[in-house]
Chain A
Amino acid sequence: MRETRTIDVGEGAAIPSKSDWGLFNAWAISFVGALAAIIYLVCFEPTPYKRLLFYLADGVVITFQVTFMSIISACCIGLVVGMGRVSKNKAINLVASTYVEIIRGIPLLVQLFYIYYALGRFLNVHDLAAAVIAMSVCYGAYMGEVFRAGITAIDKGQTEAARSLGFNGKQTMFLVILPQAWRTILPPVGNEFIALLKDTSLVSILAVSDLLRRGREFSSETFLYFETYTLVALVYLVITLLLSKGVSIMEARLSHYVRH
């Protein structure tokens, strides 16, 4: 019996719908608004804001670095964990499942403290490295679940067909299942990217000079709390919106499933 599968991937929290190309949608309004607000503040009230923007600049770079390094390694960890979770080998399955259970049960903030300060007693990791490790270990577990869901969503018939055509297990996974699963995986993975970007603000607790830490340094020195956090929030918003747009464009190109 044949059935057409339409997988409802839902409308992710922050990812704009790919069909929403009109001028007046939530994404465009927020993006233009945030950008206009930043430009207005910097041009017309340069006294704190211009200095502030320059002060935050290297923090933005660090935030980007942490985000992209974490995204890449979290994807790798997620892929391995996801395949481990669907593996028929009991031992591999158990290891992957235990990893996911443990990591998902510990708050990211605690993991950051643990890797930097607790494990720091035994091996001295650089603050940026500790941040990236903690973020990717944590998000690796989340993404593992996304990958697992994406892989199991592929019809069993695909595996059967591949196997009966003489593909071995590895070939089936990498040449048949994963290329199809990727389309289902991408939207929720994009959501994880955006959540990860926002969660990088937590690494400021390790004294990593990211965007939030720079803002806190500036405000604790000048006492301009309102001005500082307004600009920090706007900068985060612009970055997040850019990333979410990127994900939605990618999704529009790759996805063939129906979105509601």
Chain B
Amino acid sequence: MKRMFKSLLLIAACGVLALGLAGCGEKKEEKKAEAPAAAAGPKTIVFASDATYPPMQYVNDQKEIVGFEVDVIKAAAEKAGFKAEFKNVAWDGIFAGLAAGKYDAISSSVSITEERKATMDFSDPIIPIEQMLVVATGEKATDLAGLKGKSIGAQIGTTSYLVVKDVKGFKAIKTYDEVGLAMEDLVKGSIQGVVADSPVAVEYTSKKYADKIKIAATLKSDKVENVGIAVKKGNKEVIDLVNKGLAAIKADGTFDKIKADHKMQ
């Protein structure tokens, strides 16, 4: 009797699972169908932002998401006539959320790369950045090669990680969920180098851990790396609005003012 009950339960579970999967499939199709209609006149655009990235986006004492990129988007929103809403989303999985339609755009210091362009669309570049190598103040190495045999860290899924990923000779390449945790490990001495975007590297080496870590080098690349707003592939409405706003604030000097306010290079 118990056996029979068990097998019945199993069959029931399989049935529920199958129904659930079928349901998921249907939902996706529905969403596809209604997406263009819903996006026809977006008054509010929801931006996903991993607010652990000072000075680009971070959470202040009042638990608000603030930062350079946030201010840029807010100014652009004013000019282009849409409402920008920010949602704090963890970096790891932020692209999956965009693909699943959980928000309209990503404003999280996303570098525009060819690989990312294959799966999503980007706005016009907001600001160019570089990759920087951060080391402890006592470290003598001035480039990645100088850290051979040592451990190096970067945030998971970032262009910084892509820079170190294929470099051979490190003892370990560690990926962190937040760039701050990588810096923390560097200060502690668990790793000997961190590769990060230039604004973040400057922020950490000049403010939080000014006496403990320093910038060892700017990693030269033949391609210019730009930060942009990412949207789901084909979401032209949002991209057009963002681009319109960006162009407007760049034309009338608002952008330069925000840049000066945040002391961005």
A117:B92 contact, CB within 8 angstroms: no
Q: How far is the CB of A113 from chain B (nearest CB, A)?
A: 9
Distance, CA A73 to CA B182, complexed state (A) = 28
Q: How far is the CB of A220 from chain B (nearest CB, A)?
A: 3
Please name 17 further chain A to chain B contacts, defined as beta carbons within 8 Å, in addition to the given A121-B188, A205-B177, A220-B93, sorted by A numbering: A24-B7, A120-B190, A124-B189, A124-B190, A127-B174, A207-B153, A207-B174, A209-B174, A216-B157, A217-B156, A219-B96, A220-B92, A220-B95, A221-B115, A221-B157, A221-B162, A225-B99
Interface residues of A (CB under 8 A from B): 24-26, 29, 117, 120-121, 124, 126-127, 205, 207, 209, 213, 216-217, 219-221, 223, 225
A contact face: mostly helix, strand, loop, or mixed: helix
Q: Which of chain A's residues has its CB closest to B165's CB? A: A221
**Complex contacts, A209 vs chain B, CB 8 Å:** 172, 174-175
Q: What's the A-B contact tally at a CB cutoff of 8 Å?
A: 57
Distance, CA A221 to CA B7, complexed state (A) = 41
Instruction: Say which size band chain B's interface belongs to.
Output: 20 to 34
**Complex contacts, A26 vs chain B, CB 8 Å:** 6, 10
**Complex contacts, A225 vs chain B, CB 8 Å:** 93, 96, 99
**Complex contacts, A219 vs chain B, CB 8 Å:** 96
Interface residues of B (CB under 8 A from A): 6-7, 10, 92-93, 95-96, 99, 115, 119, 153, 156-157, 161-162, 165, 172, 174-177, 181-182, 184-185, 188-190
B175:A213 contact, CB within 8 angstroms: yes
Q: Which of chain A's residues has its CB closest to B6's CB? A: A26
Distance, CA A207 to CA B161, complexed state (A) = 13
Distance, CA A205 to CA B92, complexed state (A) = 12
Distance, CA A133 to CA B156, complexed state (A) = 25
